[in-house]
Amino acid sequence: MPGKAMIVTIVVGVVSVLYAYGYLVPLTRVLMVYVPVNVKSTIAYYIDLSDDTADVKSTSDRIFTKDELWKYRGEGDIYLAVLGQVFDVTKGRKHYGPGGGYEFFSGRDGSRAYVSGDFTEAGLVDDITGLSLTDIRGLDDWVKFYRKDYTYVGKIVGNFYDAAGTPTTAYREYEKQLAAAEDDKKLTAADYRRFPPCNSESAQGKGRRLWCSTLSGGIQRDWAGLPREYYRPGTTKPRCACVKDVGPPSETSSTTTADNNKGDLDNPNVKVYPGCDPKSISCSFNDF
Ligand code: HEM
């Protein structure tokens, strides 16, 4: 029978070898599944089992101050930031380098200007308060663009991240707005499918014509509908929508299809255009 001292020596030896070859932490992580909960915390106390590869991006993030980022413009490496995220755009020197059309974005976070188009010093700021949901989506598109086409480098301390690289309240607010913007996009798409925009043409002296077809507003469908003034809920300005009219009930149709055939003509958000035959597929106005 081996003595207690020998068993301890063997265990210490095995653990040391595993540690030396880097197998200790991964092996322990696997074995932890079979270990009782109370023993787990004791083991975790002695061996750091945190998975630092999972967070490698944030721990390797470089945090820039405004002054530091400002150095990355001109003839050397060129960096810029959108929504506090810094990208190396050196390969796009023709845009961002001296004399380039978008040189003003270099060395700073000019998030607001990406959607406002105000490229003055007052416009090239990271304050994005009061932007529309469309603008918020636009900013998200720009971040996706830079992540795809350029190299992510780190974060800049400012409106979106603090000195530890932690997202600020403003960044959390942006995330909420982006989620709302995505919802709004889906609702708008659904609204356009149900109330497709009318075709329209106007010519000086000839007036204006609004009409419906099975592809008006870019929405392909098997009904044309009738032109109506449509007030989308929550809006005050109407637009012309092709409103589904009552179709003849098909003999093979189920109840659901028959219901669909009721159309939307009695929808409270639609109004007949003054001066237009309510049954006409086309309305002409001489309002010039
Ligand atoms: C809010 C307004 C605008 C912003 C923020 C903006 C921003 C940018 C940026 C950042 C680039 C460089 C993309 C890259 O790294 O590859 C770019 C390229 C370009 N932009 Fe704009 N742009 C705006 C409006 C316009 C308008 C109105 C036009 C046309 C009249 C235009 C024409 C172009 C063209 C042609 C390029 C590509 C240039 C090339 O590849 O040589 N941009 N834009």
Q: Write out pLDDT tens, residues 212-239.
A: 999 999 999 999 999 999 999 888 899 9
In a domain, 114, yes or no: yes
- 210 half-sphere exposure, CB direction, 13 A CA radius: 25
Do 98 and 15 fall within a single domain?
no
pLDDT at 260 over 60: no
What's the rounded mean pLDDT across residues 34-52?
A: 52
Question: What is the Å distance from ligand 1's center to 139 Cα?
Answer: 14
Do 175 and 63 fall within a single domain?
yes
Do 137 and 180 fall within a single domain?
yes
Do 135 and 246 fall within a single domain?
no
In a domain, 190, yes or no: no
Which atom of ligand 1 is found nearest the CA of 95? 12
Range with lowest mean pLDDT among 191-200, 221-230, 260-269? 260-269
Which of 158, 185, 212 is the last residue in one of the domains? Answer: 185
Do 118 and 161 fall within a single domain?
yes
pLDDT at 156 over 80: yes
Which atom of ligand 1 is found nearest the CA of 150? 15
What's the rounded mean pLDDT across residues 66-73?
A: 98
Nearest partner of 102 among 71, 134, 80, 72, judged by Cα: 80
pLDDT at 43 over 50: yes
Closest Cα to atom 31, ligand 1: which residue? Answer: 101
Tokens standing for residue 217: 């507003």
In a domain, 207, yes or no: yes
- Count of CB atoms situated within 10 Å of the CB of 43: 13
Give bridge partners of residue 156 from the DSSP assignment: 64
Which of 185, 211, 240 is the last residue in one of the domains? Answer: 185
Do 143 and 110 fall within a single domain?
yes
Handedness of CA 102, 103, 104, 108 (dihedral sign): positive
Do 252 and 230 fall within a single domain?
yes
Do 169 and 63 fall within a single domain?
yes
Task: Give the C-alpha separation, 19 to 30, whole Å.
Answer: 15
Q: How confident is the model at residue 9 (pLDDT cuts 50, 70, 90)?
A: confident
In Å, what is the CA distance from 122 to each residue of 69, 111, 239, 267, 270? Answer: 18, 12, 35, 46, 43
- 196 half-sphere exposure, CB direction, 13 A CA radius: 24
pTM surpassing 0.75?
Answer: no
Which of 155, 185, 215 is the last residue in one of the domains? Answer: 185
Q: How confident is the model at residue 97 (pLDDT cuts 50, 70, 90)?
A: very high
Number of domains the chain contains: 3
Task: Give the C-alpha separation, 187 to 27, whole Å.
Answer: 50
Pocket of ligand 1 (CB under 6 A): 92, 95, 102, 114, 117
What's the rounded mean pLDDT across residues 76-98?
A: 98
Host domain of residue 15: 4-50
Which atom of ligand 1 is found nearest the CA of 117? 1
Task: Give the C-alpha separation, 242 to 217, whole Å.
Answer: 9
pLDDT at 50 over 50: no
Do 138 and 167 fall within a single domain?
yes
